[in-house]
Chain A
Amino acid sequence: MRTLEDLNKLRDKLQAEISIRERKQEITVNVSMGTCGIAAGARETMKTLIEEISSKNIKDIALTQTGCLGACQQEPLVQIQKGGEKVTYINVDQEKARQIVNRHLLEGKVIEQWTKPEE
């Protein structure tokens, strides 16, 4: 560590690893992990989300899991929440998961055709 700038660079890099404990994440990505979800492949969806989010180095995202949401035929379900807005994606396979990270989380565009219509 030669200078304060070195320390700042290191801090910025390390912060992403610990920000999960500071609970300041703006976006929550929630994967439904009931028995139905897991049977439909939610574990693979979750793993893909982790891979994709970390390879794109996206910060301030909380990736969590929840139980059955009562729409078992549409599993795996992924909900993305930002502020008061909530978008629910249905039948999210690994390919869709990758697209959701790139288009929704990175570019901020909701992929309407994969979402659950509001009741």
Chain B
Amino acid sequence: MSMYRSHVLVCAGAGCISSDCKAVQSALIANIQAQGLKDEIKVVETGCMGPCDLGPVVLIFPDGVFYRKLKPEDTADIVTEHLLKGKLVDRLLHRPTGKSEQVATFDRMEFFKRQTRVTLRNTGLINPESIEEYIARDGYQALGKVLSKYSPEEVISAIKASGLRGRGGAGFPTGLKWEFTARASGNPKYVVCNADEGDPGAFMDRSILEGDPHSVLEAMAICGYAIGAEKGFIYVRAEYPLAVQRLETAIGKCLEYGLLGRNIFSTGFNFDIEIRVGAGAFVCGEETALLASIEGRRGEPRPKPPFPAQEGLWGKPTVINNVETWANIPPIILNGPEWFSAIGTENSKGTKVFALAGKINNTGLVEVPMGTPLKEIIYDIGGGIPNGKKFKAVQTGGPSGGCIPAEYLDTPVDYDSLVKLGTIMGSGGMIIVDEDTCMVDLAKFFLEFVQEESCGKCAPCRIGTKRMLEIMERIVEGNGKDGDIELLEELSQGIKSSALCGLGQTAPNPVLSTLRHFREEYIAHIKDKRCPAGACQALVTYYIDARACKGCGLCSKNCPAGAISGEKKKPHVIDAGKCIKCGTCKDKCKFNSIFIL
């Protein structure tokens, strides 16, 4: 065995890949070779570490030093100063927003310090393409344990006792789902992984698949044993090519090691997993549509019951769980259900992964115990709102969810408290919006999304969301009329109660939720023809404050519509008739003299 005195982890999550971590990695390796350190220092490519806005990032062990926003040329200093001479490269260390002092190691960063990593225990820490690194982190021990020591009933009891609920959205108790499937008559039975993550702003599932694919494979095999299935399918969207590739590598390695396939651990248990790549239709995340798609039919939902536990793939009993749910299974088996249920709240056990996006300083992936207050997630871990703006709301649960306004920031985040506020946990996307966001416009965005993604099978969803969208478009264009709000509410209730599947039933939620918490914004758009956030173009007027204007002419020079005029060193004016409301003048003005009315 050769020993490396230091491991340099290079994050290769999608965020860091897009900020060109590959070039940083190559430069790092070249510098390590040039300094003659290649036998001492190991460079490891990992999945997403979490703090995506800081990418490309590297994490150096054994000291745990974290360098961020790296360029290829920075790696020379990391190698000669840090790796060779043991000196920190100060300028590459993380400096938290609003603080002057730097933080050298990852475990002292607020972002990491407050997290509890169960689902993400390996993500960002191991090389996802190395089954050996997964095994070194107790990988496949849980599968070995259940096959050698547990009866299928005992596995199900353990999952039930843990209190784990589905992380895909609705929060159905996982153990109960397995039990229904185990007891259902019909053979063969199937295990399915839902990796059709489609909520705008959500990337938890992708990060787990890319960062720790084996945890999902191991969990599916455990479920197969518990319910009496020999076949599993992973349904993953084609937009996630890296996830697909890493899953393929992982499955190949498992077959090689005998951890999938026939007679696993010489116990007579057989289990195979196949990947099915979906075309990336939002409705295919709905379980019955997903199953139809695996079968090779159009990805359209069907009424429930019968539930997949009774009649799933090819009419046979099927367990279908999402990626994050699966990733919780091995630690539950290894550490015991009591350990798991000690984390979280009364009715929401364990941890939850959130994808922070939008107007927040630290965008990225975080995992916290259920019941963590929203404030802690957004301000302590997320670092608050950029540019000194005010927090306005957080949208959770994607298009099926809703928004939570500032007055509820103390809310502990769990399944039940979110439902009370008119939203849902959903898969865990959190889009943070600030004072510059118009809530009517935001609701319109989500409605547009579901309208486009509707499969069209049922009329309430196909036609109802279209009618709602038309009203919303009218409102943001300044053509809203009396009665629009009531009509939106009526349509919403109708669609909710009559649509065929979860997509349609929840499609009106963003509208209902913004109406609940931000009704006055709708009224301002409709009655006063005004957008309080200054975001809806049709409803704003750009205006130059004559007292503040120095007549520098920068605005008129940059105005693409030629709408600004004025003499040098004298106040300029905007011709509202010509103005196209692009906002260029406001961005260019150095004296803050341009306002939106």
Q: Which residues of A contact B266 (CB under 8 A)?
A: 2-3
A65 within 8 A of partner (CB): yes
Does the CB pair B40–A46 fall under 8 Å?
yes
Q: Give B133's nearest chain A residue, CB to CB.
A: A18
A47 to chain B, nearest CB (A): 7
Does the CB pair A11–B62 fall under 8 Å?
no
- Chain A 13-28 against B: per-residue CB contact (8 Å), 1 yes, 0 no? 1111110110101001
B9 within 8 A of partner (CB): yes
Does the CB pair A53–B85 fall under 8 Å?
no
- Chain A 52-84 against B: per-residue CB contact (8 Å), 1 yes, 0 no? 011001000011111100000000000000000
A51 to chain B, nearest CB (A): 8
Q: CB < 8 Å: which of B2, B7, B40, B85 contacts A67?
A: B85
Interface residues of B in 80-107 (CB under 8 A from A): 83-87
B178 within 8 A of partner (CB): no
Does the CB pair B135–A10 fall under 8 Å?
yes
Count A/B pairs, Cβ under 8 Å: 100
Which stretch (B137-145, B168-176, B556-564) binds chain A?
A: B137-145
Q: CB < 8 Å: which of A1, A23, A50 contacts B61?
A: A23
Q: Which residues of B contact A63 (CB under 8 A)?
A: 3, 5-6, 62
Does the CB pair A1–B86 fall under 8 Å?
no
Q: Interface residue tally of chain A, by bracket?
A: 35 or more
B295 within 8 A of partner (CB): no
Q: Which residues of A contact B126 (CB under 8 A)?
A: 18, 21
Does the CB pair A65–B84 fall under 8 Å?
yes
Q: Interface residue tally of chain B, by bracket?
A: 35 or more
Q: A38-B85, A47-B40, A64-B63 are in contact. Are A1 and B136 (CB under 8 A)?
A: no
CA distance A13 to B136 in the complex (A): 8
Does the CB pair A3–B265 fall under 8 Å?
yes
CA distance A33 to B40 in the complex (A): 15
A41 within 8 A of partner (CB): no
Does the CB pair B1–A54 fall under 8 Å?
yes
B421 to chain A, nearest CB (A): 39
Does the CB pair B86–A21 fall under 8 Å?
no
Q: A1-B265, A20-B61 are in contact. Are A64 and B5 (CB under 8 A)?
A: yes
A82 to chain B, nearest CB (A): 14
B257 to chain A, nearest CB (A): 5
CA distance A54 to B1 in the complex (A): 6
B67 to chain A, nearest CB (A): 16
- Which positions in B face A, CB cutoff 8 Å? 1-7, 9, 39-40, 61-64, 83-87, 125-126, 132-133, 135-141, 144-145, 147-148, 257-259, 265-266
3 nearest CB pairs, A to B: A54-B3, A65-B86, A62-B62
A-B contact pairs, 25 of them (CB 8 A): A1-B259, A1-B265, A2-B265, A3-B266, A4-B147, A4-B148, A7-B135, A10-B132, A11-B136, A11-B139, A11-B141, A18-B133, A20-B6, A20-B7, A20-B61, A21-B7, A21-B9, A21-B125, A33-B86, A38-B84, A47-B40, A63-B62, A65-B83, A65-B86, A67-B86
